[in-house]
Amino acid sequence: MTDKIAGVILAGGLATRMGGGDKCLKLLAPQTTLLDVVVQRFKGQIESLAINASGEPSRFSRFNLPILPDQIDGYAGPLAGILAGLNWAKNIGASHVVSVAGDTPFFPRDLVAALRTHQAPSGLAIAASADRQGKTWRQPTFGIWPVALKDDLERAISKGGVRKIVAWTDAHGAGQAFFDESDGVDPFFNVNTPEDLERACLIAAQQDLL
C-alpha cells in the first residue's frame, strides 16, 4: 500500500430540514449543483475520488465517480460513510481517505495539505474553525482517516454502537487543523435549509464559482 490519498464526498445525509432528497444535488445556479462545486474544489487535492451515498446510484451518474453505499444497516451517520470510503481506499491501494461533506461547497482549497500536516501519531486529523465570537468548532466530517484503522472503526460502529465522529477520533487522539474565514466566509458553512441555499447561491456568485 502506498502513501496515496483518496477522497470521499459524504452525500448520504437525510436532509430533513430541506424536505428530504439529496441536498448535494440542489442548484446553486441553473447548471451547477452543490456537488458540482464540491467535486471541482476537491478533485485537485486528492488522487482518487468517490461519492458516499446509498440508494439508486444512477442519480449521480453524470459525475462518473464510484458510488459507495453505506455498509452498515440503518442510518449510522457519517461514520458509516467514512467506513465505506476506507473499504474502497483499501481496494485501490490508498493509505488514507480524506472526507468532505457534500453540502459544504466553500471548504478550504488546502484542506488535504493542512490535514496531513496536523496528523496525530494515529494518522487521524480533523478540521476546526472559529466563529465570529472566537469560539472554536470542530468540523469532524472533514478529516483524514488512515486505512490502517478501518477494522477498528468497523468494530466501533457495529459492536460499540458509536455514531458520533468525535467519540471515535477523541479515543485515538486525532490532530486538529485550524482554518480561518476566507473573504468573510466561514469555510465550513453548510447548506441545511432553503435559506442556507439562498445564501450559498449569493456567496458562490460573489466568489465567481459558477
Which domains are seen in the chain, by residue range? 5-206 (3.90.550.10)
Average pLDDT across the chain, whole number:
89
Number of helical (H) and strand (E) elements in the chain, helices listed first? 6, 9
Task: Give me the helix-helix angle, 78-91 and 150-158, nearest 10°.
Answer: 150
pLDDT at 58 over 70: yes
> According to the model, what pLDDT value does residue 185 have?
84
Summarize the confidence of residues 96-115 as an average pLDDT.
Answer: 96
- Model confidence at 184: pLDDT above 80: no
Question: pLDDT class for 16, splitting at 50, 70, 90?
Answer: very low
3-state helix, strand, coil in the chain (%, to 5): 35, 25, 40
Report, as an integer, the average pLDDT of 5-14. 86
Q: What is the mean pLDDT of residues 122-142?
A: 91
Mean pLDDT, to the nearest integer, of 104-132?
94
pLDDT at 52: 96
pLDDT band (50, 70, 90) for residue 20: low
Statement: residue 1 has pLDDT above 50: no
Residues 133-180: pLDDT tens digits? 778 899 999 999 999 999 999 999 887 677 889 999 999 999 999 998
Are 14 and 44 in contact by the 8 Å Cβ rule? The answer is no
Q: Is residue 26's pLDDT more than 60?
A: yes
What average pLDDT does range 106-132 have in this prediction? 94
The β-bridge relationship of strands 32-33 and 67-68 is: unpaired
Which cell numbers in the block locate residue 47? 488522487
Model pLDDT, residue 104:
95
Backbone angles phi, psi at 176, to 5 degrees: -140, 125
- Supply the pLDDT for residue 158: 84
* pLDDT > 80? residue 17: no
Using CA atoms, how far apart are residues 85 and 149, in angstroms rounded to an integer? 12
- Pair 112, 144: CB distance under 8 Å: yes
In this structure, what is the dihedral angle of CA atoms 75, 6, 100, 200, given to the nearest 10 degrees?
-130
> What number of other Cβ atoms are within 10 A of residue 161's Cβ?
9
Average pLDDT estimate for 92-104: 97
* Mean pLDDT in residue range 4-33: 80
Res 75: pLDDT: 64
Can you tell me the distance from the alpha carbon of 116 to that of 122, in angstroms, rounded to the nearest whole number? Answer: 12
Tell me the C-alpha distance between 209 and 193, whole Å. Answer: 20
